[in-house]
Chains A and B, each alone.
Chain A
Amino acid sequence: MIEWLSMGGYAYYVWMSYGALAIAIVAELLVLASRRRRALEQLAQHAQDEAFEEQAA
């Protein structure tokens, strides 16, 4: 395992590359999830405002 991780002496270069991709994908998935959450919250807010206005009228 340790020998595999050492990548024949190139561990730093190989894992910096694969690690950056892993971090980038996890970051993008988090951003995607939070954007969807915000869009739904905004929508719920609009719906609530509208229902409130209907009641007031």
Chain B
Amino acid sequence: MAGSGFFKYSSPASFYPLAGRLVPVFGWLAAALTVTGLYIGFVVAPTDFQQGEAYRIIFIHVPAAWMAMFTYLVIAGWSAASFIWNTRLSAMMAQALAPTGAMFAFISLWTGAFWGRPTWGTYWVWDARLTSTLILLFLYIGLMALRATIEDPRRADRACAVLALVGSVNVPIIYFSVQWWNTLHQGASVSLTAAPKMAETMLAGMPVMGLAAWAYTIAAALHRVRSIILEREAHARWTRELVR
């Protein structure tokens, strides 16, 4: 299997230059999508008749929440791959995604608080969705802290993979919390099966900002995984050649 197709890039040495070429692609894509999304969000989208301008927080709140949940599932996927194929790169990708996922989990809670205050009258309630999202943030922090406490990287990979897989049970809990419990948090504004609950121009900003969050996460994770590869392969001949 070595050297063929997909598995060729499961080696850190061959993935390093590929990731280096992809970082600017996704980075500029993220920048262009962000500018477009903000233009739609602040210029094109009209004022909400109930919430006034406060609703404009939605253009970062919802994409950040999506990204925080999705990134955790991707981490769990890489963790499962690192168990099954014992590939070092899978564990490195899981490691590289955690800080960006944590950032988006924090932003979804923070922007939610600053949206909740003018609309619900409170920054925080122990509502099912808010609480399960706070647990998501703690899981991200736990993943990073666990790695920091285990010196041997391969053992840290396995411990973090267990935590990532066990913790992934929280993601469907967050997603379905608004249906399973009687929450203060509203249900989804966008659904693939039902008519949207928002005006179309208001709606358009969200997927664009969502794609921007995707592109940003990919760029940041690829940039970080390159540093992780250098850190962990510092004694390999090929990394030595990079600085000679």
Chain A interface residues (CB < 8 Å from chain B): 4, 7-10, 13-14, 16-18, 20-21, 24-25, 28-29, 31-32, 35-36, 38-40, 42-44, 46-47, 50
Contacts and interface: CB of A to CB of B under 8 A. Distances in A.
Nearest to A48: B243
A40 B234 CA distance: 9
B2 to A, nearest CB: 25
Contacts of B223: 32, 36
21 contacts: A4-B42, A7-B53, A9-B53, A10-B118, A13-B114, A13-B117, A17-B57, A20-B107, A21-B60, A21-B64, A21-B111, A24-B106, A31-B99, A32-B224, A38-B227, A39-B227, A43-B234, A46-B235, A46-B240, A47-B244, A50-B240
A29 B220 CA distance: 8
A47 B242 CA distance: 10
Nearest to B51: A10
Contacts of B54: 7-8, 10, 13-14
A14 B57 contact: yes
B114 A35 contact: no
B231 A39 contact: yes
Interface string B40-59: 00100001000011101100
B78 interface: no
Given A28-B99, A43-B230, A17 B110 contact: yes
A25 B239 CA distance: 29
Given A8-B52, A13-B114, A13-B117, A25 B216 contact: yes
B224 A47 contact: no
B129 interface: no
Across chains A and B, which 7 residue pairs bring their CB atoms closest together, nearest first?
A: A39-B230, A7-B53, A10-B54, A8-B53, A17-B111, A35-B227, A8-B52
